[in-house]
Amino acid sequence: MKVAREFKEFVLRGNVVDLAVGIVIGAAFGAVVAALVKDLITPLVGMAGKFNFSALKFTVNQSVFLYGDFLNALVTFIILAIVVFFFVVKPINSLVDRTRRPAPPAPVTTKTCPYCFSEINLAASKCPYCTADLLSEAPAAVSGDISE
């Protein structure tokens, strides 16, 4: 009974179910993309010229190399990749970019020394570069105090 309980916990874990759903949706989406390419994109490309390389071959020592089928598969792959990129990836990236919230600004961890203008730790009481005491007032010209 312990093995059955462990198996049930394994199968009902979120990542296993998510993976199964992803595979099913991926297979269905693959069929949609294949149909789009086969039924809509390939005829459009075919209007420009007939791309059927299956008869291409060469022979070496009575061995026939059918490289035309490879070229057909390569052209089909390139067309499929272009369709997926422009009709799936680009629109989804655009949608994600529109819905993404900007990252919160990073917390301030440094300050500028009013004497030597070096970047120093926010909690520093003495500048490590010019050794100025930062707890005293900054010079009038640097601090912006022109009342003197």
pLDDT digits (tens, 9 = 90+) for 55-104: 888 899 989 888 888 887 787 788 778 888 888 889 988 988 888 888 88
Nearby residues of 11 by Cβ (< 8 Å), 6 or more positions away: 17
pLDDT digits (tens, 9 = 90+) for 4-44: 888 887 777 767 777 888 898 888 988 887 787 777 776 77
Query: Is residue 112 within 8 Å of 144, Cβ to Cβ?
Result: no
Report the pLDDT averaged over residues 36-55: 72
**Domains of the chain and any CATH numbers:** 2-99 (1.10.1200.120), 106-143 (no CATH)
